[in-house]
Amino acid sequence: MDNDTIQQGDARNNDGIRAAICTGIHAHIHTGLPSAMRAARLPRIAAGALALLVAAAPALALHPATEGVLHVAATAGAGERGSAHAPERSAARRKADDLSRAFRDAARTLAPSVVTINTFSSRNHPDAAPAAAGSPGQGRGLPPLPPGLGAPRPQQGPARGTGTGVVISGDGYIVTANHVVEGADEIELVLHDGRTASATIVGLDPGTDIAVLRTEASGLDPAEFGDSDALEAGEWVVAIGAPFGLEQTVTAGIVSAKGRSDVGLATFESYLQTDAAINPGNSGGPLANLDGDIVGINSAISSRGGGNDGIGFAVPASVVRRVADAIIATGRVARGYLGIGVQPADGALLAELGVPDGAGGVLVQRVELDSPASHAGIQRGDVITSIAGRQIRTPGELVATIGEITPGSVVDLRTLRRGDERRLRATLAERPDDGAPQARQPERAAPRDRAPSDTRRGAR
């Protein structure tokens, strides 16, 4: 038999092999099975056929007649392998798209309520920014920022600053940070649609770094307040503001922590901490949840270089709302007063005073005469562990807790005296106006407080 006859015979044999394989696959797929079961078995059948062909590949590959079979089987096997990963990739992409859509929706909801605030003052101010556009000023008497960061320098003559605010009512009330507008002679708003309008100060609250403005502009779109008390560390938030004069800038991050006190920026501190980018110009702007509701007002950043280091502080919406409502109603904020001086107490000191492990608390250093504390029976050397059901761990928490309670309210206190727990009740007085918030017009603005050198206000 010559070579041509052998090749023809092999070709016929391979045609038979191909036909047999295809017939077998067809039979397994179609013989008496419902369509759903046939579809489910197809990948396994293709995989078995592929294994058979791989074993026979050395012989089959010699003949062009087998190319189609090998190609079909290899494609089926690749499809089986790829199908296992495609759904996984699609699910991950869908989650990413959903998160991106949530950020976009939050920004679209909130952006129409956000305003840029430009302030002008004819007086020298240690925190004044140069009158160049896009050069936001600095907050609260801190050293100049490094060059290249839009850092302000003390100057003579008119001063200009830039910050952010958010509309909270259709009749023109706007919330911002106290240090953005304090000391300003003139306040200009740039609305979301590009319109400009003037604003006046309704009231300032240095104790929380919150201020309320009012404008006569029409067509305002107020934002809604969210529940900042329900926030948890790890939740997504967005910030909108004018960092370095760049209006309507949106940044995103998470809630890093809640209840930050003793930061040294204000008298009453219970900050939300966030890693959303907050820079000079963001102060007074909203921190919002993914529904676009205000959960905080951006107040400060902790930074050694002047820029964003991923540690920002916002006044919680629960505090902002209470302060704003009080200023709008009466022009001032009335706060509770207990009449004591306290100091931090570490574990060693608490153990020495007989306080059980894990109890925490602050040590009473001083009790004012004829004060709510003295009438309640609090003594020097007592350790206060809770007020109104809230655990007290630092002096800042005590001050903030008492300050949030309306004067005249009766509060329960838990104290420890030489290791013995005592439960006391005190009727709070009103905090004296030794730097307490007052409704002030721009020409009567008070000088700024100072803050630690490594913590900077995020605006002006």
Residues 62-118 pLDDT 10s: 444 444 444 444 444 445 445 555 566 688 888 888 999 999 999 999 999 999 999
Does the structure show a pLDDT above 60 at 417? yes
Does the structure show a pLDDT above 70 at 140? no
Yes or no: domain 336-430 corresponds to CATH 2.30.42.10? yes
**In percent, how much of the chain has pLDDT > 90?**
50
- What single-letter amino acid sits at 382? D
Per-residue confidence (pLDDT) for residue 205, from 0 to 100: 93
Let me know: does 366 contact 339? Beta carbons within 8 Å.
no
Per-residue confidence (pLDDT) for residue 423, from 0 to 100: 95
Question: pTM value?
Answer: 0.68
Question: What average pLDDT does the segment 358-366 reach?
Answer: 85
Q: Which of 261, 283, 299, 302 is catalytic?
A: 283
Distance between CA atoms of residues 162 and 245, nearest Å? 7
pLDDT single digits (tens) 26-45? 444 444 445 544 444 545 55
> Which of the four pLDDT bands, split at 50, 70 and 90, describes residue 158?
low
pLDDT single digits (tens) 269-320? 889 999 999 888 999 999 999 999 999 999 988 877 766 778 999 999 999 9
Q: Which of 179, 270, 382, 386 is catalytic?
A: 179
Distance between CA atoms of residues 211 and 176, nearest Å? 5
Q: Which of 127, 205, 209, 382 is catalytic?
A: 209
Outline where 138-273 has alpha helix (H).
Answer: 178-181
Annotation says 90 is catalytic: no
Q: Give domain limits for the chain.
A: 3-62, 113-333+437-460, 336-430
- Class of 113-333+437-460 per CATH? mainly beta
Let me know: does 53 contact 3? Beta carbons within 8 Å.
no
Nearest to 52 by CA among 78, 86, 77: 77
Annotation says 209 is catalytic: yes
Nearest to 343 by CA among 414, 378, 393, 306: 393
Let me know: does 127 contact 121? Beta carbons within 8 Å.
no
Q: How many CB atoms sit inside 10 A of residue 200's CB? A: 14
Helix (H) or strand (E) holding 78: helix 67-110
Q: Which of 111-115, 212-216, 358-362 has the lowest mean pLDDT?
A: 358-362
Return mean pLDDT, the chain: 76
Q: Which residues contact 314 (CB under 8 A, 6 or more apart)?
A: 271, 272, 274, 287, 295, 296, 297, 298, 299
Annotation says 283 is catalytic: yes
Q: What is the dihedral of CA 404, 409, 412, 418, to 10 degrees?
A: 80
